[in-house]
Structure 1
């Protein structure tokens, strides 16, 4: 009976697995889960901590919640190049480890850090001086702009430290060391929460600083994470130690790989940022309450995304290592295994959000309009969770293989075009026609469901074709 259940839930079709690998299928699950669980736990705990962060800020009112949320998109825009480079770093380090070439893997990390240092200095300066136009572009209104400006300028001062941490953690994910990234990011965020507790309302002898205290807590937490990340790569006993052989000078092979993957990722990121920015402006245009409600649902929905991201991180690492070792069959198998795990994760999250839809919003706000709107948002959200997690896994696999241009195309079609159009349709014309449906609150999440369906479908088609395993980086 036990074997039948294992075969039912964890077995794959004959066409998806060779006879050689069938007897050790559970080894593939174990290897993926060993890498996935720290990344998933990291994502889950970080999401919970961010939610706690929002709860603390929420005590200052809906304007403060909206202001912190408005800072998110400008931050992502400024970090766009850095994030793209980090995706390339993860993919290339994974390939080099799979090919058993430690020197090339270390060189990739060193050269990425050099580039990111220059980018980090630039965006730190840009973040301070361009704060107001960026926040206006995001939809900040007169009631939220003072809060948002204060928060954004303080947190932008530590962008360089943030960039270094992102780069080192990206390389660690490439070799499957997700426990390290979990510890680094958890420590940074725990410091953030503790200082939020002390500085927002003034506790344990600290002054009450309000939104300024929340920003300062975030900045200090970021610096703590950076120090810990550098400690990991300065030690002499790690696979990616900066003390090992490897060049800081740009090398053609490494640079071409970073440019190839990074350029496609930049295009994807631009499409996503533009799409999210337009969508965010539309939601903010409905009302401050609608935007604050969207932030509450986004915080909790982060649970679904980050757990899927954990599985995706493992998939990126193992797909890259398998292709580096010239095992295309194993790369495909890891994708199927990741999809199965994602299915179970999604089922649990759907139940959690369905039964918690009325209680969860009360953790963030006491305003009845926000609580009721968020409860409706959760009801809509659950229909897109499975396809969202599937999308995360499949896009991770394609990034690990270097097929970033197709992932960018998917983002262009769905995130930059479809999602803003449907958000506008739901939040404005249809909301005006059918006010009883409260589409100002649920419209963004109806758009999210459609977006997740389209992206999952397009990515599934690409993965099934199988040409992605032949890409060279």
Structure 2
């Protein structure tokens, strides 16, 4: 198995992976800080907000899928140096995302209680989540556009600007959380409502910054807003063909992950809080791995678009072992730091003990998932092999984890920790299937056209 030794490759990888990892660290770190600060209000507040964020999590998976599907085409056309087609794909991706953002955001604002009752039957949690959703629902439209702009700019190797946008949002959100949740600087203590206002304000600033950049400062894509909702038929067919599996993958997988909250939400607020802590910590712990994954997607897509398939395969092999190596180190770090992490939360002792147990399982997941993550997000997506990654991601979750978790938690009434393990049983199976696919080399697909018809 060949590995890349040239320093130029690693310089490019670091130049892409590091800002992306920092972006994800900021994004997930923001979720973690929200959890810690809302958790200081009460366990009920933490659990209610965690469940209220589940519709947004599914929405974010849909947005990530749409933008990720567009990135499959963008990276390869960028490698081919066909910027006119890149602009067309960006326009299609943004147009479709805007439509979904308006529809889903409106649904959440109009029916917040309906969405809360999907995830829990605990009456004390529903009013908390409804209060939060009535404000945060406005962020769906802002996030849909911002997230798409971040991912399409990444696809053409523009990462520093998107990092700056996320950093601004992070600092502003944490500051406003402190002011509005706890009533600092003469402001009233608004609790959960303050957290929602802080999130909305930070999302708006991020949205405005990226909008101004893409219109007035961007020199790579050259996108113009008047091209929105103007589709080229042939390119639209390609977009649907290659992006639909990515959208299906991310959204259906996101719904499946939310089913974990549905199950745990019926086991009690301690299980919800422990799961929320484990999820937030896992996201922060894996930012380096996902930085490598996203950088690999960009590099591999670019090389395949440029016709350098053998080099793209070497990139895949190299990134696989880098991902697994970092995954192992991060898993060890999470395992040994689980105590100090849980101590940050002002929650009952029983919930802390359950959180510690959840984090032991999570540390193992971090390591094993480093295999499937690089394969699905990096190699197969960059190589245009979107259908296989969808089948693996979705079927292992829905045919194994979800049924076992539902039976274990809601039928057999097993302890929360055992139920949580059953709900994550898809992780090792998926890793094996992804590794075999990478070894086969069948993931390479050139998705570009010689000429785009008008």
Q: TM-score, normalised by structure 1?
A: 0.89
Alignment partners' CA distance in 2, 1:120 and 1:381? 31
Q: Map 1:215-234 onto structure 2 (within 5 A).
A: 215-234=196-215
Q: State the aligned residue count.
A: 447
- TM-superposed CA distance for 1:142, in Å, is 0.5
Alignment partners' CA distance in 2, 1:429 and 1:119? 36
Alignment partners' CA distance in 1, 2:76 and 2:101? 26
CA offset digits 1:267-302 (Å, max 9, x no partner): 223431332232221111111111111111111111
Contact kept, 8 Å, 2:338 with 2:359, in 1: the verdict is yes
Q: Map 1:173-322 onto structure 2 (within 5 A).
A: 173-242=154-223, 249-322=230-303
Pair 1:401 & 2:383 matched = yes
Alignment partners' CA distance in 2, 1:244 and 1:74? 28
Contact kept, 8 Å, 1:380 with 1:442, in 2: the verdict is no
- TM-superposed CA distance for 1:79, in Å, is 4.7
Corresponding residue of 1:52: 33
Pair 1:165 & 2:165 matched = no
In structure 2, list runs of 5 or more residues that go unmatched: 449-454
Contact kept, 8 Å, 1:294 with 1:441, in 2: the verdict is no
Corresponding residue of 1:7: none
Pair 1:366 & 2:353 matched = no
Q: Map 1:72-471 onto structure 2 (within 5 A).
A: 72-79=53-60, 81-242=62-223, 249-396=230-377, 397-424=379-406, 426-427=408-409, 432=414, 439-441=415-417, 443-445=419-421, 447-448=423-424, 450-471=425-446
Contact kept, 8 Å, 1:272 with 1:412, in 2: the verdict is yes
CA offset digits 1:25-45 (Å, max 9, x no partner): 333222212100111122223
Q: Tell me, what secondary structure is at the counterpart of 1:240?
A: coil
- TM-superposed CA distance for 1:246, in Å, is 7.3
Structure-2 change in CA distance of 1:371 and 1:247 (3 Å): closer
- TM-superposed CA distance for 1:331, in Å, is 1.7
Alignment partners' CA distance in 2, 1:139 and 1:159? 22
- TM-superposed CA distance for 1:178, in Å, is 2.4
Alignment partners' CA distance in 1, 2:362 and 2:97? 36
- TM-superposed CA distance for 1:165, in Å, is 0.4
Alignment partners' CA distance in 2, 1:265 and 1:152? 27
Contact kept, 8 Å, 1:32 with 1:334, in 2: the verdict is no
CA-atom RMSD, angstroms?
2.2
Q: TM-score, normalised by structure 2?
A: 0.92
Alignment partners' CA distance in 2, 1:79 and 1:412? 17
Structure-2 change in CA distance of 1:100 and 1:145 (3 Å): same
Alignment partners' CA distance in 1, 2:385 and 2:174? 38
